[in-house]
Amino acid sequence: MTGANVKSVWSVPGYIPALIAVAASFGSWAMLLPVIPVAVLDSSGSPALAGASTGVFMVATVITQLFMPRLLRRFTYRSAIAVSAVLLGVPALLLSVSMSPAMVFVVSIIRGMGFGAMTVSEAAIIPELVPRRLLGKATGIFGASGGLAQMLTLPVGLAVAEHFGYFPVWILALIVAAVGGLACLWIPALKGAPAEPQVRGAVAGWMVLVLPALALVLMSGAYSLISNFLPAAIRASGVAETAALGGIVLAVVNLAVMFARLASGAIADRRGAPGALMIPAHVFGAVGMAGFAWCLYADSAPAWIVAAAFVYGIGFGLVQNESLLSLYHRCPPSQMSRAAAVWNISFDGGQAAGSFLFGLLIVGIGAPWSFAVGGVILLLGLIGAVADYARRPN
């Protein structure tokens, strides 16, 4: 880890290469995220297969994340990130050979393993490279770079496929992933520290790690409602004639998330500890969800939908950074990879659970009331945020 003489995260050895590697990996993942399901449908695959391709990907991601803390004690972070770049970029080429269900599932599983390895490795390497006093800013920049990569590459894949076909998309995703793999050459060869029997703060141990993770689960579950169902709900409600506004809403959420993560990290560094913004984060998230519910119910102007997206995105970004920093600060050095795994599993698991829960709710009570329920859930999450804040010594 760097010494006390380091003045900025940008001067930390290996930080910029790690940043490039992570942004490229996120870019390669995001580029293919909407393309593969569309490619399945265009090759006469069923909607069920198209949806299952993403579901299988997420299952493989979470399972891989469970094993990463142990693997990162045996292999270096840079080797894990490099391998994840290969697993994210190369397998999609197989889809140019066949779009059969078996091939689609094989590609989804392999890429899911790569995404699981990448997400834990990139989160775990930050506290290994960066001094704790700069950790807030470092995590904020990492989060913002990943979000920016997604914003840039999400529309690119579909645009290239529409004009040039799918094979160029597979090649382009491979090139982006290769950039991340090459950047790993300049990342220090660090491994996770040997395991210790317990994390610090064993007293009330469930509260130490579970409450920050729970906050992320609830907020990412609400995001699954936005990402999966809001575009169609906008069109059905009459707010807009097409679902295109949904794409703008998702972009605004990501923009707000990047802004909030950078601000949260800077504030945490100034205070010397995270957690001060977790309570307002829940309020922002709940207000944003309530705004969506009202706009869909009252057929409000599209500008109000965009405003609700920005407010929710602020809350989502604050929770992302505050929860990650809280896990870092509550774990000893030997548990950094475990903290990263807990954070990523909470993020991805929350989206998976939210997709299932809100899918059922929308069928039963409709989109406006489902968004209202999402807001109530985030308000209930305030109980955990207040309890977590109250238990802190300072």
Residue 59 lies in a domain: yes
∠ CA 331-337-342, rounded to 5°: 75
- Do 35 and 128 lie in one domain? The reply is yes
Give one word for 16, left, alpha or beta, with left for phi > 0 and alpha for psi -120 to 50.
alpha
| Closest to 248 (Cα-Cα) out of 303, 195, 315, 322 | 303
What is the band of 271 on the pLDDT scale with cuts at 50, 70, 90? Answer: confident
Q: What is the pLDDT of residues 166-182, one digit of tens each?
A: 899 999 999 999 999 99
Q: What's the pLDDT score for residue 24?
A: 92
Q: What is the pLDDT of residue 77?
A: 87
- Burial string for 99-115 (b: 16+ CB within 10 Å, else e) reads beeeebbbbbbbbbbbb
Q: Which residue range is the domain that position 292 belongs to? A: 205-391
Do 249 and 178 lie in a common domain?
no
Average pLDDT taken over every residue of the chain: 83
Q: What is the pLDDT of residue 392?
A: 64
Same domain, 117 and 226: no
Domain termination site, one of 154, 186, 218: 186
Q: Are residues 26 and 105 in the same domain?
A: yes
More confident residue, 253 or 227: 253
Q: Per mean pLDDT, which range of 58-72, 88-102, 181-195 is the poorest?
A: 181-195
Mean pLDDT of 359-368: 83
* Predicted pLDDT at 203: 41
Give the model's confidence band at 207: pLDDT under 50 very low, under 70 low, under 90 confident, else very high.
Answer: low
Average pLDDT on 259-280 reads 84
- Region 148-156: what's the mean pLDDT? 81
Lowest mean pLDDT segment, chosen from 242-256, 273-287, 359-373: 242-256
| pLDDT above 70 coverage of the chain, percent | 89
CATH code (residue 29):
1.20.1250.20
3-state secondary structure of 354: helix
- What DSSP designation does 201 have? -
Residues 233 and 356 in one domain: yes
Domain annotation covers residue 171: yes
* 166 and 244 housed in the same domain: no
Examine the domain organization and report whether 161 and 61 are in the same domain. Answer: yes
Q: Per-residue confidence at 29, pLDDT binned at 50, 70, 90?
A: confident
Q: Domain boundary at 155, 186, 217, which?
A: 186
Contacts of 218 (CB under 8 A, 6+ apart): 350, 377, 378, 381
The pLDDT-based confidence of 201 (bands split at 50, 70, 90) is very low
Select the highest-mean-pLDDT range: 66-70, 108-112, 144-148, 190-194.
Answer: 108-112
Q: Please, which pLDDT band fits residue 139 given cuts at 50, 70 and 90?
A: confident
- The number of folded domains in the chain is 2
Q: Tell me whether residue 41 is in a domain.
A: yes
30 and 124 fall within a common domain: yes
The answer to whether residue 374 is domain-embedded is yes
Angle between helices 15-32 and 135-164 (to 10 degrees): 40
Residue 336's pLDDT is 76
Mean pLDDT of 333-362: 81
Contact call for residues 321 and 140 (beta carbons, < 8 A): yes
Domain annotation covers residue 197 = no
- One domain, residues 360 and 216: yes
- Same domain for 153 and 44, yes or no, is yes
Average pLDDT of the residues in 353-357 = 79
The last residue of a domain, from among 130, 156, 186: 186
Question: Taking a C-beta distance cutoff of 8 angstroms, is the pair 225, 354 a contact?
Answer: yes
| pLDDT above 80: residue 6 | no
C-alpha pair distances (Å), 371 with each of 8, 107, 224, 246, 374: 41, 34, 11, 15, 5
* The pLDDT of residue 210: 83
If residue 317 lies in a helix (H) or strand (E), which one and from where to where?
A: helix 302-330
- Give DSSP secondary structure letters for 324-348: HHHHHHHS-GGGHHHHHHHHHHHHH
Instruction: Give how far the C-alpha of residue 26 lies from the chain's centroid of Cα atoms, to the nearest Å.
Output: 9
Residue with the larger pLDDT of the pair 159 and 288: 288
Is pLDDT of 393 > 60?
no
Confidence of residue 137 (pLDDT cuts 50, 70, 90): confident
One domain for residues 181 and 70 = yes
* pLDDT greater than 70 at residue 2: no
Does 370 or 191 have the greater pLDDT score? 370
- Is 193 part of any domain? no
**Would you say 32 and 136 are in contact if contact means Cβ atoms under 8 Å apart?**
no
Residue 191 lies in a domain: no
48: left (phi over 0), alpha (psi -120 to 50) or beta: alpha
Q: Are residues 324 and 235 in the same domain?
A: yes
In a domain, 4, yes or no: no
- What was the pLDDT predicted at 348? 83
5: confidence class by pLDDT, cuts 50, 70, 90: low
Tens digit of pLDDT for each residue in 90-117?
999 999 998 888 998 999 899 999 999 9
Q: What are the tokens at 361? A: 């709710």
Name the residue with higher pLDDT: 377 or 353. Answer: 377
